Amino acid sequence: MSIKIKKAIISLSDKSEIKSILNILKKYRVNIISSGGTSKEIKKLGYKCTEVSEYTNTDEILDGRVKTLHPKLYAGILSKRENKNHKKELKKNSYSEIDLVIVNFYPFEKTLKSTKNHNKLVENIDIGGPTLVRAAAKNYKYTTVLTSPHQYKEFISDLEKNRGYTSLDFRKKLSQEAFNFTAYYDSVISDYFNNTNNDYFPQKKTIFGNLVEVLRYGENPHQKSAIYSRNNKLDISQLSGKKLSYNNYNDIYAALNTSRTLPKNNGTVIVKHANPCGVSVNSNKLESYKEALACDPISAFGGIVSCNFKISKKIALELNKIFLEVIIGLGFDNDSLKILRKKKNLRLIDASKLTKQNTASITGNFNSLLLQSADDKIFNKNNFKVVSKVKPSKKVFDELLFAFNVCRNVKSNAIVLTKNSSTIGIGSGQPSRLDSCKIAIDKMKKFQKISEKDIIIAASDAFFPFVDAIEILVQSGVSAVIQPSGSLRDKEIIKFANKLGIILVFSKTRHFKH
């Protein structure tokens, strides 16, 4: 069913592209009702409109808080055109039908990014706008609703195609978009109040996001996937290469989660299937990459490299020697881009503007959502306790912290072996912690040359329930172990460490990553 557009109400915060709308409305002789700044803009552009207060015969009150909340407007928007009683009631009250609502809202989200002033934010919560939009969206069978300048072109096309009418399918589509828009707007406000009240798990939880892109597929070709952002765009930007997949994004964020815990402008992380397979914080950037690669060069093939620094020509030449899916840098110089862009499929990601830390982790299954705060705890000495008789030097203690920091980003059960601030063996994702130890040791023996002088550190993401795992670590050359406390056998583990003459440090916090 097509509906002729005869009367419209326009109330806009974002007045961009309004002229294109005014042109088409003038062409089809649509009467316009408007208010406040929108009315002034319409008249400034040389078009006619009737002020809301004049149309309703009611002045704006409460400093503009009440201006469109009037039955004359809502009766016109919500009336069913084919309902005889509705027609009688409109005629009795001297109301008329409103066929088009063009509204966007006070910029609460934009204001939230520019101020922490609570009163100012509250005044930027729109009431009349969302109410108008919801009313029009509900009555989409008869009323057309536009909530964004992005819709104007399609609206003009539909109006022209139908010679001043809009089609039912188009109105229904706009209704869907309108309810998405109001839900998003309310969820941003809801999230703000939850945060100000420190209520991170309220009784009713809404999660908002803007579509960045629909991906080719999910983890597998038969799965559908898309990526959303809490902002209007991602904090990372793709400079070159093939379109990113679900798995690419998953690996990118896994790499960045580790990179962001490393010293500023220092360190290289290599990830494969969302697991670190090499990490180094050597201050020499080229050596940092080489040492990260040396941890497990086979797994690194086809993986993702995240450089926690700007990528130079020298680094690019080295990166170019093996097949990689993605390279992440805190920027790329021109020479490095020329080199790396020669591989057309290689994705280059600039993460230099990624300043925000993760605030929450969300997973979902079977119509349920699991939420938790991010594991972004910054380690310091007070988080750990040396429990062995042998005490670590400052250098060894720093190495223990490095190993433990990497370990929390490896899927559990996780074991990380390091020396000289570089990983030399990583065991991940095993049901048995002992198996993870064996894998880490096997990797070390396969790819590293270890001398008796080397100080090898082992980190575990949870406590060792038995001495067997520590025993095989020490037999492989480990001389210092860091693990969370909490086992019923902690005293037994300490006694065993002292018997072997190794350093044992307990963390006060556990760091599983499943």
**Considering 19, 138, 242, 314, which one is annotated as catalytic?**
138
Q: What angle is formed at CA 140 by the lines to CA 134 and CA 142, rounded to 5 degrees?
A: 125
Select from 262, 235, 227 the least CA-distant residue to 350.
235
> Is 50:11 a contact under the CB 8 Å cutoff?
no
CA distance 457 to 418: 5
> Is 425:417 a contact under the CB 8 Å cutoff?
yes
DSSP three-state, residue 216: coil
- Look up residue 514 and give its two tokens: 């499943």
Select from 77, 100, 228, 211 the least CA-distant residue to 152.
100
- Look up residue 377 and give its two tokens: 């705890």
CA distance 424 to 436: 14
How are beta strands 226-229 and 326-329 bridged, if at all? unpaired
Q: Within 13 A of 280's CA, how many CA atoms are on the CB side? A: 22
Radius of gyration of the chain from its Cα atoms, rounded to whole angstroms: 31
> Is 134:150 a contact under the CB 8 Å cutoff?
no
**Considering 70, 273, 290, 310, which one is annotated as catalytic?**
273
> Is 33:12 a contact under the CB 8 Å cutoff?
no
Q: Please enumerate in sequence order all residues whose Cβ is within 8 A of that of 338, keeping only pairs 6 or more positions apart, or say none.
A: none
> Is 445 known to be catalytic?
no
Select from 76, 99, 78, 97 the least CA-distant residue to 146.
99
> Is 138 known to be catalytic?
yes
> Is 110:232 a contact under the CB 8 Å cutoff?
no
Cα torsion 267, 272, 277, 280 to 10°: value is -10
DSSP three-state, residue 62: coil
**Cα 244 vs. chain centroid, distance in angstroms?**
15
Q: Please enumerate in sequence order all residues whose Cβ is within 8 A of that of 138, keeping only pairs 6 or more positions apart, or say none.
A: 78, 175
> Is 50:32 a contact under the CB 8 Å cutoff?
yes
**Cα 65 vs. chain centroid, distance in angstroms?**
34
Q: What angle is formed at CA 360 by the lines to CA 277 and CA 281, rounded to 5 degrees?
A: 30
**What is the number of H-type helices and E-type strands within the chain?**
19, 23
Catalytically active residues are 138, 273
